[in-house]
Chain A
Amino acid sequence: MKLSRVVVISGGLSHERDVSIRSGRRVAEALRTVGVEVSEIDSDSSLLPALSGLEPGAVIFPTLHGAAGEDGAIRDVFEMLELAYVGSTADACRRSFDKPVAKGIVADAGISVPASRVLPHSTFRELGAQYLLPLIEKSVGLPLMVKPAKGGSALGASVVRTAAELPEAMISAFSYGNDVVIEPFIMGREIAVSVIEESDGSLTALPAVEIVADSGFYSYDARYTAGLTEFFVPANIDEALSKRAAEVAKKVHLALGLRDLSRSDLIIDKNGEVWFLEVNVAPGMTETSLLPQSVAAAGRDIGELYKELAERALLRK
């Protein structure tokens, strides 16, 4: 069956709606440059009627970020509708979107992950934050990272350098969800490695992107304001480290059972150890996002890549 059209779904109701719309627009533009007919659609109550009427050669390209987009729910809907779609399955998304679950699986695959604690608000309420917070500080150590257990774009995430900053960081993370991950802040070089699944089933790790945020923290502002962050593609790391990072990203992709594409966020510490932080099943595709930079650095045309992924999704149908 020939690819007749790609339906890019973006927006939705998550906190990352704005980023998702920008990602969707960029994906649609790239596909059009290679002659693919594209429809763009928001994820709302008009979605199901629109998808129900799709012709057999149509493929869904979800660029929904955050909950409902990356937690597997929308992909379950695609599967119920028996629609071809680009990206990981609902089950794989569920495993990956929940940071503690993903870290456990990745650690079992022999990859270094920061030891984290995952606590709901109710635990602080029941046991008393005045007792738990000092325990966290002592057990995890400073500086530490606090972030929502689910979600992306660094929303609600903070670096805590002093004990006084910890309560506010907890409140900020709990504003985005009921569970919070607390882990040591690994000092080192921040890199992102995107993995693409080729047509023969092999995995290609694209050139790593090194991220140097002016503020020292790759926050929401630093991610989506051109100019606030300096990117090095490929990352200025030696070949052995580069290979190691690529292997880690591919292992993550395999361990979580991901499909088509993924992006792993990693830290290389001063000893050259590669630490896994989190994985993205619907990586950002905006003007300032990391995956498109890696694709360009690899000398590949991003429109062609998206088209290949869509054609492969159709073959799976």
Chain B
Amino acid sequence: MSTGSRLDSFVARYAERTKGMTASEIRALFAVASRPEVVSLAGGMPNLTALPMDVVSKIVADVINENGQVALQYGSGQGDPVLREQITEIMRLEGIESHPDDVVVTTGSQQALDLVARIFLDPGDIVLAEAPSYVGALGTFRQYQARIVHVEMDDNGLIPERLREAISHTRANGGKIKFLYTIPNFHNPAGVSLSAERRQEVLRIAREADILIIEDNPYGLLGFNTEPTRAMRADDPDNVVYLGSFSKTFAPGLRVGWAAAPHAVREKLVLASESSILCPSNFAQMAISRYFATQPWQDQIKSFQGLYQERRDAMLETMEQLFPSTATWTKPGGGFYIWVTLPEGLDTKAMLPRAVTSRVAYVPGTAFFADGFGSWSMRLSYCYPTPERIREGVRRLAGVIEEEMELRATFGNNAIPVSERPNRILPPSELM
């Protein structure tokens, strides 16, 4: 008798939290999406074509030539003081008055998210998050074995009434809510923004319910023809941890983000960060610091805004022309993403192989829910392809949707379970 092998001698030793870490058909399909023949409307890669590479090249060279001994050395766990000072100036654009000591520099804001989860979440704790929410955040919270309770949104962002309901319902069922995770500006994946009035209401609800807010704001400066919106932290710095990033305003490859937090939280974040990475990259921080000190970075952000607006317009126009009349979608005022809700009964996950065969890719809606909802929604990104490629991608996708609708019509829409909660962004009229 031969004994069995699982081709992994560590299989009995992995932590419980690795259980969801498996290969998947969807992941396999995304490998095809990286090919140039495929118009990928899936990834959220910032478009760096507007970045003056000659300038960046000189900055990087100057950092090494003038201060290489420091740039290539370990640095402060909390981050470079000069950069932290500059970060406070950037946050001032959104009304946040803070001291450099409030800021912890991280390896991308994704690390800040991980640190927040690490210091707050015990297994079984509840995180409130929008429905849908950023897939990278949901993955992080799951890693800490937290449970996600989604709160509905509409075109004006998180719905305060639903937030109240979620809090009372969760607590009535014995759930321990640790924080509300929200992306108030140009939401990923929904593309909507939280209105000014609702920001105040959400702050009030959180304060009254004694719930910390994690305000994730990577896209806040990427509004089209608008001034930056006042951050939630600006109005309640003692109850809001703000996460920021240079990935969309400068370059994601440098992997620099930050958290601005109440002092006690900040101290724990620094200790947690030191235990995980010792310190963020001195080199990357110094390059960013020099760029922000010497270059017209606000003009550069305007260039990014123009580039993304042109792409958003191309996508919206083509969708308007070609998508079925029964589909709905958000119309973002900035950022990278459009959230599409297809006719009920379509399953965007099941449709993805057909889309990849037609050389177009998107992210199925279920990726943005922790509870299996979102099956007839999808996220489209307009940030990376050229406007011409976006039009072509939307044209291909419209054909795929038509074929899928025909297939569903053949086999009946009862082929997939109908959820009780709508997984689209509700127009306000439907909330009454």
Give A residues with C-beta under 8 Å from B.
13-19, 21, 44, 121, 124-125, 129-130, 133, 153, 155-156, 167-168, 170-172, 174-176, 212, 220-221, 223-236, 287-288, 293
Chain A residue with Cβ nearest B1: A236
With contact pairs A13-B32, A15-B29, A223-B23 given, residues A232 and B416 touching in the complex (Cβ less than 8 Å): no
Q: Say yes or no for B429: interface residue by CB 8 A criterion.
A: no
Q: Is B25 touching A232 in the complex (CB atoms < 8 A)?
A: no
With contact pairs A124-B411, A171-B347 given, residues A212 and B4 touching in the complex (Cβ less than 8 Å): yes
Write the nearest CB–CB distance from B366 to chain A, whole angstroms. Answer: 14
Q: Say yes or no for B15: interface residue by CB 8 A criterion.
A: no
B414: A residues at CB distance < 8 A = 167
The 4 closest A-B pairs by CB, nearest first: A226-B8, A18-B31, A224-B23, A230-B4
Q: Is A168 touching B31 in the complex (CB atoms < 8 A)?
A: no
B351: A residues at CB distance < 8 A = 175
Q: Say yes or no for B274: interface residue by CB 8 A criterion.
A: no
Q: Say yes or no for B326: interface residue by CB 8 A criterion.
A: no
Q: Say yes or no for B428: interface residue by CB 8 A criterion.
A: no
The interface size of chain B toward A, counting residues with CB under 8 Å, comes to 41
A172: B residues at CB distance < 8 A = 350
Chain B residue with Cβ nearest A153: B28
Cα-based distance from A14 to B29 in the complex (angstroms) = 9
Q: Is B412 touching A167 in the complex (CB atoms < 8 A)?
A: yes
Q: Is A44 touching B2 in the complex (CB atoms < 8 A)?
A: no
Cα-based distance from A21 to B4 in the complex (angstroms) = 27
Give B residues with C-beta under 8 Å from A.
1-8, 11, 14, 21-25, 27-29, 31-32, 35-38, 347, 350-354, 356-357, 406-408, 410-412, 414-416
Cα-based distance from A21 to B32 in the complex (angstroms) = 11
Q: Is B5 touching A171 in the complex (CB atoms < 8 A)?
A: no
With contact pairs A124-B411, A171-B408 given, residues A16 and B28 touching in the complex (Cβ less than 8 Å): yes
Write the nearest CB–CB distance from A76 to chain B, whole angstroms. Answer: 20
Cα-based distance from A152 to B219 in the complex (angstroms) = 41
With contact pairs A124-B410, A129-B411, A167-B415 given, residues A221 and B32 touching in the complex (Cβ less than 8 Å): no
B356: A residues at CB distance < 8 A = 15
Q: Is A227 touching B8 in the complex (CB atoms < 8 A)?
A: yes
Q: Is A121 touching B407 in the complex (CB atoms < 8 A)?
A: yes
B352: A residues at CB distance < 8 A = 175
Write the nearest CB–CB distance from B32 to chain A, whole angstroms. Answer: 5
A-B contact pairs, 16 of them (CB 8 A): A13-B35, A15-B357, A17-B28, A17-B32, A18-B32, A121-B407, A124-B410, A129-B412, A167-B412, A167-B414, A167-B415, A176-B354, A220-B28, A230-B4, A235-B2, A293-B7
Cα-based distance from A230 to B21 in the complex (angstroms) = 17
B27 partner, pick from A18, A121, A133, beta carbons under 8 A: A18
A287: B residues at CB distance < 8 A = 7
B23: A residues at CB distance < 8 A = 220-221, 223-225
A13: B residues at CB distance < 8 A = 32, 35, 37-38
Cα-based distance from A143 to B111 in the complex (angstroms) = 47
B2 partner, pick from A156, A220, A233, beta carbons under 8 A: A233
Write the nearest CB–CB distance from B360 to chain A, whole angstroms. Answer: 13
| B2, B406, B412, most chain A CB atoms within 10 A | B2
Cα-based distance from A114 to B32 in the complex (angstroms) = 33
Q: Is B416 touching A227 in the complex (CB atoms < 8 A)?
A: no
B3: A residues at CB distance < 8 A = 232
Cα-based distance from A138 to B22 in the complex (angstroms) = 36
Cα-based distance from A174 to B351 in the complex (angstroms) = 9
Write the nearest CB–CB distance from B345 to chain A, whole angstroms. Answer: 10
Write the nearest CB–CB distance from B346 to chain A, whole angstroms. Answer: 10
Chain B residue with Cβ nearest A14: B32
B25 partner, pick from A121, A171, A220, beta carbons under 8 A: A220
| B11, B353, B356, most chain A CB atoms within 10 A | B353
B38: A residues at CB distance < 8 A = 13
Q: Is B35 touching A44 in the complex (CB atoms < 8 A)?
A: yes
A230: B residues at CB distance < 8 A = 4-6
Q: Is A226 touching B412 in the complex (CB atoms < 8 A)?
A: no
Cα-based distance from A223 to B27 in the complex (angstroms) = 14
Q: Is B410 touching A129 in the complex (CB atoms < 8 A)?
A: yes
B353: A residues at CB distance < 8 A = 15, 155-156, 175-176
Write the nearest CB–CB distance from B116 to chain A, whole angstroms. Answer: 29
A21: B residues at CB distance < 8 A = 31
Cα-based distance from A228 to B350 in the complex (angstroms) = 23
Q: Is A17 touching B31 in the complex (CB atoms < 8 A)?
A: yes
| A15, A172, A232, A287, most chain B CB atoms within 10 A | A15
Write the nearest CB–CB distance from A222 to chain B, whole angstroms. Answer: 9
Cα-based distance from A232 to B2 in the complex (angstroms) = 6
B31: A residues at CB distance < 8 A = 17-18, 21
Write the nearest CB–CB distance from A191 to chain B, whole angstroms. Answer: 12
Write the nearest CB–CB distance from A44 to chain B, whole angstroms. Answer: 7
Q: Is B350 touching A231 in the complex (CB atoms < 8 A)?
A: no
Cα-based distance from A150 to B407 in the complex (angstroms) = 19
Chain A residue with Cβ nearest B12: A227
Q: Is B406 touching A125 in the complex (CB atoms < 8 A)?
A: yes
Cα-based distance from A217 to B416 in the complex (angstroms) = 21
Write the nearest CB–CB distance from B351 to chain A, whole angstroms. Answer: 6
* Given A13-B38, A16-B28, 11 extra CB contacts under 8 A: A15-B356, A17-B28, A44-B37, A171-B347, A174-B407, A175-B353, A221-B25, A225-B21, A225-B22, A232-B5, A287-B7
A234: B residues at CB distance < 8 A = 2
Cα-based distance from A211 to B2 in the complex (angstroms) = 13
Q: Is A19 touching B28 in the complex (CB atoms < 8 A)?
A: yes
Q: Is B6 touching A226 in the complex (CB atoms < 8 A)?
A: yes
Write the nearest CB–CB distance from A226 to chain B, whole angstroms. Answer: 4
A171 partner, pick from B1, B32, B411, beta carbons under 8 A: B411
| B25, B35, B407, most chain A CB atoms within 10 A | B25
